[in-house]
Amino acid sequence: MGITDWIHVIAGSIILISLALGVESSPIFHSSYWLFLTTFVGLNLFQFGFSGFCPLGLILKRLGVPEHRR
């Protein structure tokens, strides 16, 4: 998997976890403040679509994740 694939997997996981922790009808509800994390990740994905820049992409590149699928 390439960097973009990992960005989608990690961002999707963070969004689902923060929704589970932030929505009151969830069985693992903790606090509605978790929805700020959902908003942050969503906005970051939105700007990544336009600019191609993502801080997580820089971290994954430094960890040695290949840029493209092999």
What does each of the 70 residues of the chain score in pLDDT, given as a tens digit?
889 999 999 999 999 999 999 999 999 999 999 999 999 999 999 999 999 899 999 999 999 999 888 7
Helix, strand or coil for residue 16?
helix
Q: What angle do CA 32, 40, 11 make, to 5 degrees?
A: 100
What's the CA dihedral at 63, 57, 12, 31 to 10 degrees? Answer: 90
pTM: 0.86
Helix H or strand E encompassing 19: helix 3-22
Tell me what pLDDT residue 42 has. Answer: 94
- Tell me the C-alpha distance between 55 and 58, whole Å: 5
